[in-house]
C-alpha cells in the first residue's frame, strides 16, 4: 500500500478504526510521510466531528415549544412573535452548519404575499402565511441536511430499520401535505399552524435520532 490512491481508498475505514492492525499501521505509516494524504485524513476527521455534532444542533431545543404554544394560543400578534422566535432559533443553531453544507434557498413564495391594506395595517392572513412559510423553509433545510447524513450512514443500520424509518418519513410528509391543504382552506386556523409546526418538529427529531444512532 504505497500509493496515495490506495491510502485514500482506505481512509474511511482507517478513521473508523475498522482496518486490520497491519493495514492500519501501513496507512498510519504513509500518513506520517505524506502531507497531502494527512490533510485528507484531517479533513475527514473534521467532517465526522461536524456530523456527530450536527445531530444535536440542527433541531430547536424541545423546551422552546411550550413557549411557542402559549404564544400561539394568545392571539395573532403574539403567535407571530412565537413563529419568528422559532425561525430565528433554527437559524441560530443550525445556520452556520447549513450554510456550509447546503445552499440556502430563497424564501418561498408566500412572503411576497405580505401587503399593506388600505388603512396601512398588515393583512393578518398573509403575514401568518409568510411567517409559516419562513419557518417551513428553515425546517426543510434542516431536514435536508439530516437526510444527507442519514443516507451517508444508512449502511450502518439494519436494512429493515432504514425501511421503517423511510416509511415513517413518508407518513410525516403525507401529513404535512394534508395540513398545508387544510391551511389553504383555513389560513387563519391557529390549530392547523401549530399542527404544521409540531409535525415538522417530529420529522426533525426522528431524523436527528436516527443519524445519532448511525454515528
Partner 1 sequence: MRGTMSVKSLAWCALLAAATASAQGRVDERRAAAADGTVAIETGGGSVRVVGWDKAEVTVTGTLGADSQRVEVRGDRRKLRIEVVPERHDHPGAADLEIHVPAGSRVEVEAFQAAVDVEGVTGSVRAETVNSSITFTGTADDVRLESVNGGVSVRGRSARINVESVNGPVDVSDPGGDLQAGTVNGPLKVSGALGLARGRLESVNGRVTFEGKLAARGALDIENVGGGVDLAISSPADYRVSTFNGAIVNEIGPGPQAVRGHDEDDEDDETPGKELTFSAGSGGARVTVTTLNGRVRIMKGR
Interface residue list for partner 1 (CB under 8 A)? 16-18, 69, 156-158, 160-161, 164-165, 167-168, 171-172, 175, 178-179, 182, 185-186, 188-189, 191-192, 194-195, 198-199, 202, 205-206, 209-210, 213
Q: Which is nearer to partner 1, 107 or 191 (CB)?
A: 191
Nearer to partner 1, 98 or 192 (CB): 192
Cell numbers describing residue 46: 473534521
Q: CB-wise, 76 or 178, nearer to partner 1? A: 178
Identify which of residues 26 and 162 has a Cβ nearer to partner 1 in the complex. Answer: 162
Q: Which residues contact 91 (CB under 8 A, 6 or more apart)?
A: 138
Q: In the complex with partner 1, which residue's Cβ is closer, 14 or 98?
A: 14
Alpha carbon distance 9, 14 (integer Å): 10
Minimum distance, C-beta of residue 38 to partner 1, in the bound complex (Å)? 23
Spatial distance between the Cα atoms of 143 and 90, rounded to a whole number of angstroms:
12
Question: How far, CA to CA in Å, does 138 sit from each of 66, 95, 154?
Answer: 19, 9, 24
Min dist. Cβ of residue 111 to partner 1 (A) = 22
DSSP secondary structure string, 102-146? SPPPPPPGGGGG--B-TTSPBPHHHHHHHHHHHHHHHHHHHHHHH
Tell me how far, at minimum, the Cβ of 152 lies from partner 1, in Å. 15
Nearer to partner 1, 38 or 202 (CB): 202
Q: Smallest distance, Å, CB 138 to partner 1?
A: 20
Instruction: Output the smallest distance, CB 72 to partner 1, in A.
Output: 11
Distinct helix (H) and strand (E) counts, the chain: 8, 0
CB of 6 to partner 1, least distance (A): 21
Buried residues in 156-178 as b, exposed as e (16+ CB within 10 A): ebeeeebeebeeebeebeeebee
| Phi, psi of 35, deg, nearest 5 | -65, -35
Amino acid at each position: 500500500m504505497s500509493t496515495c490512491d490506495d491510502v485514500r481508498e482506505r481512509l474511511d475505514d482507517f478513521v473508523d478504526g475498522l482496518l486490520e492492525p497491519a493495514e492500519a499501521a501501513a496507512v498510519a505509516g504513509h500518513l506520517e510521510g505524506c502531507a497531502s494524504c494527512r490533510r485528507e485524513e484531517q479533513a475527514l476527521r473534521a467532517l465526522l466531528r461536524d456530523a456527530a455534532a450536527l445531530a444535536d444542533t440542527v433541531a430547536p431545543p424541545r423546551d422552546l415549544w411550550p413557549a411557542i404554544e402559549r404564544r400561539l394560543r394568545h392571539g395573532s400578534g403574539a403567535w407571530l412573535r412565537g413563529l419568528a422566535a422559532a425561525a430565528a432559533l433554527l437559524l441560530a443553531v443550525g445556520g452556520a452548519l447549513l450554510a456550509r453544507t447546503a445552499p440556502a434557498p430563497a424564501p418561498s413564495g408566500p412572503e411576497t404575499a405580505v401587503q399593506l391594506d388600505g388603512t396601512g395595517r398588515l393583512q393578518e392572513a398573509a403575514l401568518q402565511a409568510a411567517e409559516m412559510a419562513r419557518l417551513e423553509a428553515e425546517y426543510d433545510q434542516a431536514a435536508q441536511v439530516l437526510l444527507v447524513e442519514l443516507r451517508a450512514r444508512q449502511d450502518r443500520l439494519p436494512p429493515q430499520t432504514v425501511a421503517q424509518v423511510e416509511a415513517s418519513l413518508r407518513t410525516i410528509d403525507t401529513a404535512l401535505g394534508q395540513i398545508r391543504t387544510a391551511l389553504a382552506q383555513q389560513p387563519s386556523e391557529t390549530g392547523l399552524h401549530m399542527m404544521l409546526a409540531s409535525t415538522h418538529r417530529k420529522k426533525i427529531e426522528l431524523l436527528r435520532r436516527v443519524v445519532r444512532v448511525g454515528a
